[in-house]
Amino acid sequence: MSSSDDKITSLLSEERVFEPPTEGRDAAAIGSLDAYHAEYKRSMEDPEGYWAERAEELVTWDKKWDTVLDADFDKPEFHWFKGGKLNVSYNCLDRHLENGRRNKAALIWQGEPEEDVKVYTYQMLHTEVCRFANVLKKKGVKKGDRVSIYLPMIPELSIALLACARLGAIHSVVFAGFSSVALQSRIQDCEAKVLVTADAVIRAGKTIPLKPNADEALSECDTIESCVVVKRAGNDVSMTDGRDSWWHDEVAESDIASTCDPESMDAEDILFILYTSGSTGKPKGVVHTTGGYLTYVMHTCQYVFDMKDDDVYWCTADVGWVTGHSYILYGPLGLGATSIMFEGVPTYPGPDRFWKIVEKFQVNTFYTAPTVIRALMRDGDGPTQRYDLSSLRILGSVGEPINPEAWMWYHVNIGKEKLPIVDTWWQTETGGLMISPLPYATPTKPGSASLPLPGIDAAIFNEEGEEAGPNEGGHLVIRKPWPGMLRGVFGDPERYKKAYFNRYKDTYDPEDGARKDDDGYFWIMGRLDDVVNVSGHRLGTAEIESALVSHPVIAEAAAVGIPHTIKGQAVYAFVTPNTGVEHTPELLAELRGHVRKEIGPIATPDAIQYAPGLPKTRSGKIMRRVLRKIAANDFENFGDTSTLADPSVVEDLIKGKKALD
């Protein structure tokens, strides 16, 4: 055990509370707990006044709104800043050209190869965005049209999003780790007109072709008229005449201008659709709009990351997820910050890659996920000690509950026991951070996301919809609308209502379990629905099950989450093959490959077990809690199983599980 390991263990047993640093408080947006409480109180007493103030201060509006909020939980429908007009790309780019930031680095891109670095000043990014917006225009893209984006973490990804925002086109980013099948269903759902993709993804030293996935997806996407391809790796790709063209050729055309007027959008026009998993097999197209979203991501960026003009800020997420949308792009660029975009992975070429980047660019704020911390912990503190991390000021965490060991490792080895850690709870649906410490105001407790941000009315409800007492577990809920909230599930208003506003009246239901301690601190437990959180990525068990049963020899399948030391949770599946199909290990391997192909590598089950039958109630519902226990090798206390149609299947599954291990 190294000395820092000793420290971690001893600190853990003390259950300490960590005070925010005193240095930096005076310059912070909110610099004391009293100041937080005062601002929180004001935001709850007069939410509309509060949000109007924030929207006015942070955003440049072409036209001011008529009403701050028009909310109807029953429909449900929420309109923020109705009558207001603005353009998000103007706010993220143009206005910084006039306020002294023209030559400031907006984006610093670090490619996977160390020497691949590109720096875009606000002026340069503006030019690139305008040029690509003009390319999209030439392809017939107009306000309201959908553009699907399937790109690795290269600058063109950020440029494409901002170009859509400039034209008022709706972007729908599909994470480049998703399969062609997943891409296809998302393009079909939003009926995109253009797809932007690349030849390949460079990851951990390998070139992984991407264009073939796009081609496969587009074989059944009638709405797509054009496909623009970025050359990243230079591998051979096939181009379809009349549909496909190269990004670099398009932007180099002499008739492509370097300016493009931003479209003045209504506050409630859609900015983007981002698909996320829910409790049914079909991912939900979460809809975010223009004015409220921008206000909210800037508000949270300013308060939680205490963003200052000369800060270098690095969020390690992929722009393909909401964290990248809100905290690599829109929040930081809205505030005129310098944001790092990194193409690679934390462990390649070695487990010191992140710290090398921190030193290289003198990063001040570093925002990552617990799964990354856990993966890096395996290599001990050596890699962290090789670099000068003294530029760091604020550390952040997102994606899943951070276990206290990981929190302490982060605190000791990266934070050098001095830096505040902001554990930020939020969701794709919430648009931005909801519950989080403020770095210079909130004492932190390892494992707790702490207190709701100003403007956020969070509470814990029991099943009856009453507020739960201290330390009583229940449903985390949000009782007041906030500007960053999702405005719909694309094309499915019924699902919007059912998924988020049905459980309790006049309340948003995030489907997370949590408790609040005696100090009012929130401790998030995890999902209450059938969603598994693998390395901070949300996966619906129903999606995995439908991928498994799409295999011709599988009759039935059930997937559950099991605890995993690095990934937080892993996927474990039970399958019942058709009668007469031999139960071979080869078939199990094939099924894992099949899920990978249907959804993507992140959804691949860690293990699959044959199930002669699944534990079902007499009404045919699979009893998942029984499966979760068996998968986790916990063969006792299954709870009430009296409603099982055939209790003997449980014994069979236990036998099967024991035989596997």
The residues that touch ligand WTA, with contacts defined as CB under 6 A, are 276, 322-323, 398-401, 423-428, 449, 510, 512, 524, 526-527, 533, 538
200 is in an annotated binding site: no
Q: Which is nearer to ligand WTA, 133 or 570 (CB)?
A: 570
* Residue nearer to ligand WTA on the CB measure, 526 or 656: 526
CB of 526 to ligand WTA, least distance (A): 6
What is the separation, in whole angstroms, between the first and last Cα of the chain?
30
Complex with ligand WTA: residue 391 or 427, whichever CB lies closer: 427
How many residues are there in the chain?
A: 661
> Is residue 65 a known part of a binding site?
no
Q: Residue 452 has what DSSP assignment?
A: B
Residue type, 159: I
Q: Is 564 annotated as a binding residue?
A: no
Which amino acid, residue 22?
T
Structure tokens at 300: 């949270």
The nearer residue to ligand WTA, 94 or 400, going by C-beta atoms, is: 400
Structural contact between residues 413 and 386, judged by C-beta atoms closer than 8 angstroms: no
Annotated binding residue at 442? no
Give the closest residue to 447 by CA, choosing from 409, 414, 395, 405. Answer: 405
Q: For residues 91 and 397, which CB has a smaller minimum distance to ligand WTA in the complex?
A: 397
Please report how close the Cβ of residue 409 comes to ligand WTA at its closest, in angstroms.
16
**Cα–Cα separations (whole angstroms), residue 568 to 373, 525, 534:** 11, 12, 6
CA distance 178 to 213: 9
Supply the minimum distance, in Å, between the C-beta of residue 194 and ligand WTA: 25
CB atoms near residue 2 (< 10 Å): 11
Could you tell me if 189 and 178 are in contact, meaning their C-beta atoms sit under 8 angstroms apart? no
Of the candidates 157, 150, 101, the residue with the CA atom closest to the CA atom of residue 124: 101
Is 620 flagged in the annotation as binding?
no
Q: What are phi and psi of 325, to 5 degrees?
A: -55, -55
**Residue 508 exposed, middle or buried by CB count within 10 Å (0-12, 13-18, 19+):** buried
554 marked among binding-site residues: yes
Min CB(573)–ligand WTA separation in Å: 21
In the complex, minimum distance from the CB of residue 75 to ligand WTA, in angstroms, rounded to a whole number: 23
Q: What angle do CA 419, 564, 546 make, to 5 degrees?
A: 120
Q: In the complex with ligand WTA, which residue's Cβ is closer, 83 or 513? A: 513
Tell whether residue 530 is among the known ligand binding residues: no
Nearer to ligand WTA, 162 or 478 (CB): 478
The answer to whether the annotation marks 401 as part of a ligand binding site is yes
**427 marked among binding-site residues:** yes
CB of 193 to ligand WTA, least distance (A): 26
Least separation in angstroms between residue 424's CB and ligand WTA is: 5
Phi and psi of 341, rounded to 5°?
-125, 120
- The residues, ordered by sequence, that sit 6+ positions from 530 with a Cβ below 8 Å of its Cβ are 279, 540, 541, 542, 624
- Please check if 535 is assigned to a binding site: yes
How many CB atoms are located within 10 Å of the residue 212 CB?
13
What is the nearest approach in angstroms of ligand WTA to the Cβ of residue 217? 22
For residue 135, what are the CA distances in angstroms to 151, 234, 391? 17, 22, 40
Residue 373 contacts by C-beta under 8 Å, 6 or more apart in sequence? 397, 402, 406, 409, 410
Q: Considering beta carbons, is residue 263 or 400 the nearer one to ligand WTA? A: 400
Q: What is the pairing mode between strands 458-461 and 474-478?
A: antiparallel
Is 515 known to sit in a ligand binding site?
A: no
Residues linked to residue 148 through DSSP beta bridges, in sequence order: 172, 195
For residue 50, give the amino acid letter: Y
Residue 426 annotated as lining a ligand binding site? yes
d(CA 464, CA 512) in angstroms, rounded, equals 16
Residue 206 assigned ligand-binding role: yes
DSSP structure class, residue 86: E
Beta partners for 450? 522
Smallest gap from Cβ 172 to ligand WTA, in A, equals: 15
CB 189 within 8 A of CB 165: no
Q: Which is nearer to ligand WTA, 11 or 286 (CB)?
A: 286
Residue 143 · residue 196 · CB < 8 Å: no
Residue 324 or 346: the one with the smaller Cβ distance to ligand WTA is 324
| CB of residue 507 to ligand WTA, shortest distance in Å | 16
Sequence-ordered list of residues with C-beta below 8 angstroms from that of 237, at least 6 positions apart, any chain: 199, 209, 211, 212, 229
Closest CA to 381 of 16, 110, 7: 7
CA 419/CA 437 separation, integer angstroms: 12
Closest-CA residue to 172 (of 16, 286, 37, 57): 286
323 is in an annotated binding site: yes
What type of residue is 186? R
Task: Give the CB-nearest residue to ligand WTA.
Answer: 428
Nearest residue (CB) to ligand WTA, 276 versus 444:
276
CB 171 within 8 A of CB 165: yes
Residue number with CB closer to ligand WTA (568 or 577): 568
101 known ligand binder: no
Closer residue to ligand WTA in complex, CB, 200/534: 534
Q: Report whether 503 belongs to an annotated binding site.
A: no
Rank residues 302 and 323 by Cβ distance to ligand WTA and give the closer one.
Answer: 323
- One-character DSSP codes across 232-289: SS-------TTTEEEHHHHHH-TT--S--PPP-EETTSEEEEEEE--SSSSPEEEEEE
Which parts are annotated binding residues for Mg(2+)?
549, 551, 554
Residue set of the binding site for ATP: 399-401, 423-428, 512, 527, 538
Binding residues: 203-206, 323, 399-401, 423-428, 512, 527, 535, 538, 549, 551, 554, 596
